[in-house]
Each structure stands twice: as C-alpha cells, then as structure tokens.
Amino acid sequence: MIVFTQENSHLGTSFRQYFRIVPALTEELKREAYRVRHSVYCEDLQFEFSRSDRFEVDEYDANSLHLLIRSVRNGTFIGCTRIVRPPSNNNDRRLPFEKTCAQTLDRSIIDPSRLPADKIGEVSRLAVIAAFRRRKGEKKHPINISEEDLGTGPIMRFPYIPLGLYIGTVELARIHDIRVLFMLTEERLASHFSRLGAQLDSIGAPIEHRGLRFPSMVEISSIISNMRPIFRPLYQAIAEDIKAELEKRNQQKTGTPQP
C-alpha cells in the first residue's frame, strides 16, 4: 500500500510511478490474467479447483474484456479484472449474475434482458496477488479497501491497486460503449466504490456466494460525471495509458509504423 500525502496530491503522476493499467488485447496478456486468477482464486482462496496449467479459465472468458495491472518496479502483472459481455451466438444471453441471482434479482428496478446486449456488461474476477493484497485479516478476501485508505488527514494510505482496476474497468467500458455495469459485491466494497462519487444501486436481495454478495449496477456516465475531483487525474492517467495500448495494438495489426 502506497503512502499518499496531501503534499503529493496528483494521483495520476503518483500512480504511474508504481503501476500501469494494461488492457489484455492479446492471448499472451489474457494468459497473464488467467495466471493471476489462478494464484488468487485457486491457490489462495480455494474458490476454484487448481489446474495443472495454472490458468483459471471459465466459459465467460471468450466473450470478455480483460484488464491487468502491472508493477512498474519489477514488470510483473499483479492484478486483473474483466467485463463479461452477453454472448452474441447463444440463445441464452444472460450475464453470470443473472443466473446466480435468478431468484433474488428485482427486475422491477432494472431488467437486463430488456437492455441492448451490446450496452451492458458484468464486472467479475477482480483479483490481486497476495504480496500486494494482504494485510491483517485479508487472507480470505480477493481485494479490499479499508476505512483508513480513503479517510481524511495529512497522511493516508491510498489504495492505488483496487481503484486503478475499478477506474480502468470504467474506461474500458466507456471505450466499448458499455453503458451499464453489473456486479456481485460485498456491501462494504460497494460503499467504498461509491467514494469515487458514483452510487452503486442495489438491484435485488443479497445471496450467499463466497460470502454475502449484493447484485448491483452502476451507469458509466454517472461514474464519470460524478467522479470526485481528487480522482480525476488518476482517471486521466489511466485513460491515456489504455488509449496508448489500444493504438499500439491497432498499429501492430495494420502494420502502421509507430511514431
């Protein structure tokens, strides 16, 4: 956890000293995400069975947008997340949370099946490796933000990694014109997410799924327009890095020389 002081308040500059957000645009990068997930979900938390190839993969990965966070210090990938999109070649176009929450989802609040499939997605498989995640009492949590991290005062620890992944997910969704993101989340993380400035809306009763989880939704336009000013430099830095990676990938695919 990086120490953040009010004297060094440009979060974008500080973030880039330690981390980079990288969209997983190649199969090689996707495998890095699967490797992080195996470390967290199979080895640490034992939510999934260990695999001999040490990749944690499921049926939703082929239709997902994947995101990584890399440590600048040693160049390794230390965290990941993804946005699952409804399958376009399947009669069952439900997102994973719709199946998990089939009995508790309140479709009078919002009915994903009535929304354009290309405008929605679900955030899942958010994971950070133990060396960058673990503090006292956090062994059984894939990621966490404590009250101290986002408190007030002249010095506070700042949760660059989870917020970097959250903000990177928002920008990845915006780029792909995804307008509503759904997620299953712990209540405490939902409240912390709202500290960005946008409110996660509960859309059904909680369920037991690796702990108590709440089905929630957030609109991308709401997150961006209501983001607190202190986080905007961080958002700008991450958006610039994602854009640069997308442009580099397009140049590689078209054979256009890089400037």
Q: How far apart are CA 120 and CA 99, in angstroms?
A: 15
CB 68 within 8 A of CB 79: yes
Write the CA distances from 222 to 98, 160, 182, 197, integer angstroms: 22, 21, 14, 9
Q: pTM for the full model? A: 0.86
Write the CA distances from 97 to 84, 100, 127, 202, integer angstroms: 10, 5, 18, 13
Six-digit token string for 102: 């089939």
Residue pLDDT tens, the chain, 259 long: 444 444 345 889 999 999 999 999 999 999 999 999 999 999 998 999 999 999 999 999 999 999 999 999 999 999 999 999 998 877 788 999 999 999 999 999 999 999 999 999 999 999 999 888 754 444 555 554 443 343 433 333 468 898 899 999 999 999 999 999 999 988 776 666 677 777 788 999 999 888 889 999 999 999 999 998 989 999 999 999 999 999 998 888 877 665 5
Dihedral, 90, 95, 222, 216 alpha carbons, nearest 10: 160
Q: How far apart are CA 84 and CA 42, in angstroms?
A: 20
pLDDT value at residue 209: 84
pLDDT value at residue 57: 97
Six-digit token string for 117: 């499939």
For 179, phi and psi rounded to 5 degrees? Answer: -105, -25
pLDDT value at residue 145: 40
Q: How far apart are CA 142 and CA 81, in angstroms?
A: 11
Nearest Cα neighbor of 78 from 26, 8, 134 is 134
Radius of gyration, alpha carbons of the chain: 18
